[in-house]
Amino acid sequence: MKNQIKKYIFGFCTLALVSVTSCETTDLDINDNPNQLTTESADPNYILNGLMFSNGIQNVRLSGITSGVVRQINQFGTYASSAGQEAMDGAWYNAYSLTSNLQLLKTLSKEKNLPVHVGIGQVLEAMVYVNLVDYIGTAVYSEAVNPEFTQPNLDSGVDIYKAMLLQLDEALANLDKEGSITHEDIYYQDVANWKKLANTLKIKMYVQTRLAGDDWDGDGTSNKSAIEAIVTGGDFISENTDDYQIYFNSKETNPDARHYGFSTNYIVAADDYMSNDFMNRLINGKSINDPRLPYYIYRQTLEDPMTIDPDGALLPCDGDSDFQYCYLGDGYWGRDHADDEGIPNDGVYRSTWGIYPAGGAFDQGTGGSTLESVNLGGAGIQPIILASFTHFWLAEAVLTMGVSGDARALLKKGMELSFDKVGTFASKEIATADVDAYVNEVLTNYDSASDEDKLAIVIEEFYIASFGNSVEPYNNYRRTGYPVLGNSVIENTDFPRSFFLPSSEINSNDNPALEQKKLSDQVFWDTNPAGFIN
């Protein structure tokens, strides 16, 4: 029976795998529904790890949806072509799978006293519903996975956010209780880390909603005061050892547990195009190359692409090209945003994912096929909430919300945490002199900047440190307008201020009040004007 529970939760996947495409709803055996199991036979730790799987794969899927939108990798074609009505199907399913299993866990807890298990599940559930609101603006929540509601209604984004803040308080209370059995999990083990995650998620939510008003949730406490109380308590993600992330490994089969950036670029030939916009920031954004460049990006060749293939799609930056960046030089072979020209046979030449976060190869500056490279075999990570992120959020809060603190010091710490984290992925650590030069240049620019430009600098550094996670850059861009993203090489459609309701819900929910939304619809915390970003 334990194996049956495990099969339902993970389908044919494991969390170490987190494949974007291999864990659809068709993987489930409906005869293994855990809601039909007896509470005596159910193993709470299997169920808890199922919740973690749903949470983790949702972040991977969302990052896959917006990685091209925010220029971390190349977006092929228009925004509209990247934001179809089926785009959110997987992330939507993950949320309700998690909620269903959390309900089972709560039922078990009534008999077995599992407050810590439930508390962790409540944190995980809060994260997935916040993500749905951030991407869609709404979700089914109050009537979710309830057989009494065969045609559930959508809840407003603001109501879901309010409910999740209350749930995080309840989760923190549960995490302080003693349970009857020790929880086993694939992220932290230590309950203290789950408390830090809960409080950090609250910081994110308060910063995220700053444009909606200082007491948008009507609880009588301002966002500013709420953040300051958490910071004073010190119980939040502040060091890299606290980071909330998925761990991949180098296992190839049954199941393939390698990072998706590795699996699609190191097995046959490079399939992804890296973004010229993003690589240009790393190469030309400062007076020196970003020290993370050889960790983020691996070059398969140092040859000029026009030398290799004069008739190829890449063009030299000679001033006559319509391309925004064309070929960046020095072997950095990418593709401009929205370029939908034909794809040449260049998979063995393209620059691709490096050692961080994909578990690929460190760029030694010599070139070489990914197939023959020395690499980590895909044992990378999915960064979800990192200590560097927290410091950038807090810097924004100081600059825009009047939260007590030193935004400059927070910016500095955020950059240093990012360099420290990335540098641990290769045997060659980032040189201290390079880090100091980079950080000092950013801080010098910061010191002479206006308040608005100070915010732009903070979000720019947040953007670069987020590589591999496009969820936060997508949120930051709609909230702040930063970083300023490069233009399209073709006439693009409007930037998606949110995504469609998933086609799976539209097709299965006969509620007459359920209508498809528009990509121009703004989520409740995005009060910026139409056309604010493009």
- The helix/strand/coil state of 252 is coil
Q: Is residue 5 part of a domain?
A: no
Is the residue at 186 inside a domain?
no
Tokens of 506: 């539209």
Cα pseudo-dihedral 305, 310, 313, 316, rounded to 10: 60
DSSP 275: B
> What is the sign of the dihedral through the CA atoms of 432, 434, 436 and 439?
negative
Split at pLDDT 50, 70, 90, the class of 93 is very high
Under a CB-based contact definition with an 8 Å cutoff, are residues 333 and 273 in contact?
Answer: no
User: Of 124-133, 297-306, 361-370, 436-445, where does mean pLDDT reach its minimum?
Assistant: 297-306
Indicate the DSSP class of residue 500. Answer: P
Query: Which pLDDT score is estimated for 205?
Result: 98
pLDDT-derived band at 180, boundaries 50, 70, 90: confident
> For residue 526, what is the enclosing H or E element?
none
Cβ atoms 346, 337 nearer than 8 A: no
Q: Mind listing the pLDDT tens digit for each residue in 391-418?
A: 999 999 999 999 999 999 999 999 999 9
pTM: 0.91
Specify the amino acid at residue 515.
E
Q: Could you tell me what percent of the chain has a pLDDT over 90?
A: 78
Mean pLDDT of 150-166: 97
Domain boundary among 379, 414, 444: 379
> Is 226 in contact with 202 (CB distance < 8 Å)?
yes
Considering the domain architecture, whether residues 460 and 359 belong to the same structural domain is answered as no
Strand pairing partners for 244? 385
| Dist. CA 186–CA 170, nearest whole Å | 22
Task: Indicate the DSSP class of residue 73.
Answer: B
Rounded distance between C-alpha atoms, residue 313 and residue 309, angstroms: 9
461-485 pLDDT tens trace: 999 999 999 999 999 999 999 999 9
406 vs 340, more confident: 406
Q: What kind and span of H or E run contains 125?
A: helix 115-136
Mean pLDDT, the chain, integer: 89
In a domain, 206, yes or no: no
Distance CA 305, CA 347 (A): 12
Q: Find how far residue 333's CA is from the centre of its chain.
A: 25
**The predicted structure's pLDDT at residue 3:** 31
The DSSP symbol for 492 reads P
**Is 406 in the same domain as 325?**
no
Spatial contact of 195 and 235, defined as CB atoms under 8 Å apart = yes
Q: Give 14-67 pLDDT, tens digit per residue.
A: 333 333 333 333 333 334 454 445 556 689 999 999 999 999 999 999 999 999
Residue 11, CA distances (Å) to 54, 78, 102, 243 in order? 11, 33, 17, 27
Contact 461, 415 (CB under 8 A): yes
Give pLDDT, residue 338: 81
Angle, in degrees to the nearest 10, between helices 115-136 and 89-112: 160
323 or 241, higher pLDDT: 241
534, with CB counted inside 10 A (0-12, 13-18, 19+), is exposed
Find out whether 168 and 201 touch, Cβ atoms under 8 Å. yes
Which whole number is the average pLDDT over 374-395? 98
Same domain membership, residue 283 and residue 316? yes
Q: Evaluate whether residue 343 is within a structural domain.
A: yes
Kindly tell me if the per-residue pLDDT of 353 is higher than 80: yes
Do residue 392 and residue 459 come from a single domain?
A: yes
**What per-residue confidence (pLDDT) applies to 231?**
98
Are 275 and 330 found together in one domain? yes
Of 437, 457, 480, the residue at which a domain comes to its end is: 480
Would you say residue 368 lies in a domain? yes
* Same domain flag for 368 and 395: no
User: What residues does 269 pair with on adjacent strands?
Assistant: none
**Where residue 344 falls among pLDDT bands split at 50, 70, 90?**
confident
The count of other CB atoms within 10 Å of the CB of residue 143 is 15
The 3-state secondary structure of 435-469, one letter per residue: HHHHHHHHHHHHHCCCHHHHHHHHHHHHHHHCCCC
Q: Are residues 367 and 386 in the same domain?
A: no
What pLDDT is recorded for position 254? 87
CA dist 55 and 96 (Å) reads: 10
State the pLDDT confidence band at 81, using cuts at 50, 70 and 90: confident
- Among 329, 345, 379, the domain boundary falls at 379
Check which CATH number belongs to the domain holding 391 and give it.
Answer: 1.20.120.840
Tens digit of each residue's pLDDT (9 = 90 or more) over 275-323: 999 999 999 999 999 999 999 999 999 988 766 665 555 555 544 445 5
Whether 364 and 386 share a structural domain: no
Residue 518, classified by CB atoms within 10 Å of its CB into exposed (0-12), middle (13-18) or buried (19+), is: exposed
For residue 4, what pLDDT is reported? 28
Shared domain for 349 and 411, answered yes or no, is no
Determine phi and psi for 319, rounding to 5 degrees: 90, -15
Taking the CB of residue 151, how many other CB atoms lie within 10 A of it?
13
Q: What is the pLDDT of residue 348?
A: 92
Mean pLDDT score, 166-190 = 93
- Would you state the pLDDT for residue 387? 98
Mean pLDDT of 423-435: 95
Is residue 42 situated within a structural domain?
Answer: no
C-alpha to C-alpha distance for 259 and 253, rounded to whole angstroms? 13
Is the model more confident about 70 or about 325?
70
**If you average pLDDT over residues 73-78, what whole number do you get?**
90
Lowest mean pLDDT among 87-91, 229-233, 530-534: 530-534
- Residues 320 and 332 occupy one common structural domain: yes
* Cα distance between the two ends of the chain: 52
Asked if residue 403 and residue 336 are part of one domain, the reply reads: no
Average pLDDT over residues 498-518: 94
Taking CA atoms, 186 is separated from 53, 173, 190, in Å, by 9, 22, 11
Domain of 312, in residue numbers: 262-379
* Residue 38 CB coordination number (10 Å): 7
Environment class of residue 42 by beta-carbon count within 10 Å: exposed (0-12), middle (13-18) or buried (19+)? buried
- pLDDT score, position 174: 97
C-alpha to C-alpha distance for 496 and 87, rounded to whole angstroms: 12
157, 524 Cβ separation under 8 angstroms: yes
Within a domain: residue 326? Answer: yes
The reply to whether 157 falls in a domain is: no
Q: Over range 421-445, report the average pLDDT.
A: 96
pLDDT of residue 186: 86
- Cis-peptide into 255, omega within 30 deg: yes
Does residue 375 sit in the same domain as residue 411? no
Structural domain count of the chain: 2
